[in-house]
A = this chain, B = another copy of it.
């Protein structure tokens, strides 16, 4: 669990400040347990803190993600993308957070393991999406994605 002192240090080293909203939002994200969205955090905190703005929550979450304190549960869908589902070999994606490049890959063993997990739960799979996030070779060479 992240201590407030650690948080303060992380911010300070980048010339950033530990403010009341940031403290509250991080606290809520930690305690709330499961995957929270900006709106639910906003609503929860707004009750006890009537001046909080939505934009602040969005800005804080983005910051936390950049600092590696928080992660997005699902990959960010900017625009919905579709592909023909008939007779096409499946593939997954590695998305580079540095340059946006998308590396495609496929691995049958992963698919088989998914199938195993699904069977165990009586779940019938019709499709899946695996998105790996991180930094590509080129960005790592350029020094991006070092501190995580």
Residues of A that sit less than 8 Å from B by CB: 1-2, 26, 29-30, 34-39, 61, 64-65, 68-77, 79-87, 93-94, 96-97, 103, 105, 107, 109-110, 113-114, 117-118, 121-137, 140, 145, 148
Interface of A is mostly: mixed
Query: Bound state CA distance, A85 and B29, in angstroms?
Result: 10
Docked-complex contact A124 and B131, CB < 8 angstroms: no
Enumerate chain B residues within 8 angstroms of A38, measured Cβ to Cβ. 79-80
Enumerate chain B residues within 8 angstroms of A36, measured Cβ to Cβ. 81-83
Copies of chain A in the complex = 2
Query: Bound state CA distance, A23 and B73, in angstroms?
Result: 36
Closest CB of chain B to A125's CB: distance in Å? 4
Partner of A82, one of B72, B121, B124, B129: B72
Enumerate chain B residues within 8 angstroms of A123, measured Cβ to Cβ. 94, 96, 103, 132, 134-137
